[in-house]
Homo-oligomer: A and B are copies of this chain.
Amino acid sequence: MKVAMIEDDIELAEILSEYLKKYGIEVENYEDPFIALSALRIAKDYDALILDLTLPGMDGLEILKKIREFSDLPIIISSARSDLSDKVIGLELGADDYLPKPYDPKELEARLKAITRRRAKPPKEPDLKIYKHRREIHFKNKPLPLTPAEFEVLSYLIEHPNQPIEREELLYTCENLSENASEKTIDVIISRIRHKLGEDPKNPRYILSVRGIGYKFVP
């Protein structure tokens, strides 16, 4: 797990970072909230953000608001101010949890775990699945009726997801296609597969054509 932190108290940031590292949580602290802002825009691999609201000379809630404009990253806010307005406004602006300062690092760790667990969504199973031994491809849990050539072409594409495959490569690979057949053959086969998948001709979902190259499968 990797989390971002916006905290101007470097010593505190250091301590927390050290502690969390022991539990497999990698912390990246940003002293300057504006730098943090642009970093968060780019980096997509953070699992959460710990935001200190009591930043000097600026409103931490402002930062929170700005981040929520482009990201739904889980955010834990903390504040040294004892009044509750920070908490209320913060949660209203889209923070996911609140921790009053000072707090136990252990507490922070627990909240982080909780928040990211909540966020983790179950990986949905793919629409297209190959059953090699049966020589079947299932589409949305139902077997697709395919001719041998169609089966081989689709299999090859599925086994190389997101990679544009040249027509030539398909001709070469598939047993049921003769190497010296016209590349147009592939087009016809693809057209038929698309039809069986119920693709929208204008806007295919699974098999995209890559101009000048061939086709690619996107899961």
A185 at the interface (CB under 8 A from B): no
Given A44-B141, A125-B42, A125-B43, the answer on whether A213 and B135 have CB atoms closer than 8 Å is yes
Q: How far is B42's CA from A64's CA once the two chains are assembled, in angstroms? A: 32
Q: Which chain B residues border A125 with CB–CB below 8 Å?
A: 42-43
Tell me the interface secondary structure of chain A in the complex: loop
Given A39-B124, A42-B125, the answer on whether A211 and B147 have CB atoms closer than 8 Å is yes
Q: How far is B147's CA from A16's CA once the two chains are assembled, in angstroms? A: 49
The reply to whether B121 and A163 form a contact with Cβ atoms under 8 Å apart is no
Name the residue of chain B whose CB is nearest to the CB of A160: B133
Q: Which chain B residues border A148 with CB–CB below 8 Å?
A: 211-212
Tell me the A94-139 residues at the B interface (CB within 8 Å).
117, 121-122, 124-125, 133-135
Tell me the A26-58 residues at the B interface (CB within 8 Å).
28, 30, 35, 38-39, 42-44
Per-position contact with B for A54-66: 1 when CB-CB < 8 Å, else 0? 0000000000000
Per-position contact with B for A168-183: 1 when CB-CB < 8 Å, else 0? 0000000010000000
The reply to whether A164 and B135 form a contact with Cβ atoms under 8 Å apart is yes
Q: How far is B176's CA from A213's CA once the two chains are assembled, in angstroms? A: 11
A209 at the interface (CB under 8 A from B): no
A88 at the interface (CB under 8 A from B): no
Taking the nearest CB of chain B, how far is it from the CB of A165, in angstroms? 11
A162 at the interface (CB under 8 A from B): yes
A140 at the interface (CB under 8 A from B): yes
A interface residues with partner B (beta carbon < 8 Å):
10, 28, 30, 35, 38-39, 42-44, 117, 121-122, 124-125, 133-135, 140-141, 147-148, 162-164, 176, 210-213, 216
Beyond A28-B121, A135-B213, 6 extra complex contacts between A and B, CB < 8 Å:
A28-B122, A42-B124, A43-B125, A134-B162, A135-B164, A147-B211
Q: What would be 17 A-B contacts, judged by CB atoms less than 8 Å apart?
A: A10-B117, A35-B121, A38-B124, A39-B121, A42-B124, A42-B141, A43-B122, A43-B125, A44-B141, A133-B163, A134-B162, A134-B163, A134-B164, A134-B216, A135-B164, A148-B211, A176-B212
